[in-house]
């Protein structure tokens, strides 16, 4: 089985100072191809998923980047092609949305342990201090103080 995801739309990107989050609404195509003995690889199911709402919070503390998922919700699902029979889009949407309600706390437990370190020395040219991230209504501020390093002289 092969799964294909294609991002078809990314819009309604916003941030909130009150909630300290980033929200994105988009759409994607999702296709499942299966290998058969008679016909080779065959498209089993092709779905168009729209109004997918994602809400997350990104933090930076001492050059360590943190991520917390707050929401993942599917708005609409349309069956483009199905060779496996009738697919109930309402049931599928309910399963996905309920599944993510259960999975988000588990995902956040994993993300809490994941420590991504932002570099404080950029190519030996300058160092960064005071890296910070702030949410405002409809924009995000990312700031840092660069300190340029003196050139190094190599003796021949």
Q: pLDDT by residue (tens digit) across 54-97? A: 999 999 888 899 999 999 999 999 999 999 999 999 999 999 99
Q: What is the pLDDT of residues 93-106, one digit of tens each?
A: 999 999 999 999 99
* Burial zone of 100 (CB within 10 Å; 0-12 exposed, 13-18 middle, 19+ buried): middle
Residue 57, pLDDT score? 94
Q: What is the pLDDT of residues 27-50, one digit of tens each?
A: 999 999 999 889 889 999 999 999
Full-prediction pTM beyond 0.85?
no
CB neighbour burial string for 113-133, b if at least 16 within 10 angstroms, e if fewer: eeeeeeeeeeeeeeebeebeb
């Amino acid at each position: 089985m092969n799964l294909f995801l294609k991002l078809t739309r990314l819009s309604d990107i916003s941030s909130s100072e009150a909630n300290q989050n980033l929200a994105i609404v988009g759409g994607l195509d999702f296709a499942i191809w299966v290998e058969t003995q008679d016909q080779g690889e065959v498209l089993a199911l092709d779905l168009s998923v729209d109004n997918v709402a994602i809400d997350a919070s990104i933090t930076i503390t001492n050059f360590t980047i943190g991520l917390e998922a707050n929401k993942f919700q599917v708005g609409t699902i349309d069956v483009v092609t199905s060779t496996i029979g009738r697919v109930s889009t309402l049931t599928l949407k309910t399963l996905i949305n309920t599944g993510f309600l259960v999975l988000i706390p588990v995902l956040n437990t994993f993300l809490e342990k994941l420590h991504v370190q932002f570099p404080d020395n950029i190519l030996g040219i300058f160092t960064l201090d005071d890296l910070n991230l702030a949410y405002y209504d409809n924009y995000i501020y990312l700031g840092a103080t660069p300190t340029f390093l003196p050139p190094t002289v190599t003796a021949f």
